[in-house]
Amino acid sequence: MKNSNILNASKSVYLVGIKGVGMTALAQILQGMGKKVSGSDTHEKFFTDGVLKKLKISFKEGFRASNLPKNTDLVIHSTAFDPKVHPELIATKKKKIPVISYPEAASILFNNSLGIAISGTHGKTTTSALVAESMKNLGFNLTALIGSRVNNWKSNAIVPRRNPGGGEVPTKRKSFFVIEADEHQNKLRFYRPWSIVLTNIDYDHPDFYKKESDYYNAFKNWVAKWKKSKFSLPKIGVFNGDDSKIKRLIRELKLKSTEDCIILTYGKGKNCNFKIQNNLPSVPNLIGQHNAYNLAAAYVFVHTLRWLQNSFQKVFSCSAGCATGRKNFLERILQFDFATASSPHSTHTQEIKKSFKNFTGTERRMQYKGRKGQILVFDDYGHHPKEIKATLSAVKTAYPKHQLFVVFQPHTFTRTAAFLKDFAKSLKIADQIGLLPVYGSARENSGKVSSTDIAKIIGKKNCFYFPTHKDCLEFLSKYKFKKPAILVTMGAGDGWRVGESFLRN
* Residue 166 predicted with pLDDT over 60: no
pLDDT tens digit string along 208-255? 899 999 999 999 999 999 999 998 888 999 999 999 999 999 999 999
What is the location of CATH 3.40.1190.10 in the chain?
A: 112-357
pLDDT tens digit string along 337-355? 665 554 444 566 778 888 8
How confident is the model at residue 250, as a pLDDT? Answer: 97
- Amino acid sitting at position 2: K
Q: How confident is the model at residue 169 (pLDDT cuts 50, 70, 90)?
A: very low
**Which whole number is the average pLDDT over 314-330?**
56
CATH class of 367-504: alpha beta
HSE (CB half, 13 Å, CA atoms) of 364?
22
Q: CB neighbours of 226 closer than 8 A, spacing ≥ 6?
A: 192, 193, 196, 235, 237
**Which whole number is the average pLDDT over 313-329?**
55
The answer to whether the beta carbons of residues 12 and 36 sit under 8 Å apart is yes
In this prediction the pTM is: 0.83
What is the location of CATH 3.40.50.720 in the chain?
A: 3-104
How confident is the model at residue 210, as a pLDDT? Answer: 92
How confident is the model at residue 135, as a pLDDT? Answer: 92
How confident is the model at residue 381, as a pLDDT? Answer: 86
* Residue 286 predicted with pLDDT over 90: no
Strand partners, 61: 41
Q: Can you name the CATH fold of 112-357?
A: UDP-N-acetylmuramoyl-L-alanine:D-glutamate ligase (3.40.1190)
**Which whole number is the average pLDDT over 86-114?**
91
CATH class of 3-104: alpha beta
* Residue 195 predicted with pLDDT over 60: yes
Q: How confident is the model at residue 167 (pLDDT cuts 50, 70, 90)?
A: very low
What is the location of CATH 3.90.190.20 in the chain?
A: 367-504
Question: Higher pLDDT residue, 43 or 440?
Answer: 43
Average per-residue pLDDT in the chain?
Answer: 86
Q: CB neighbours of 439 closer than 8 A, spacing ≥ 6?
A: 409, 410, 411, 412, 491, 492, 493, 494, 495
- Amino acid sitting at position 409: Q
Helices 385-398 and 289-311: angle between axes, nearest 10 degrees: 100
* Residue 112 predicted with pLDDT over 70: yes
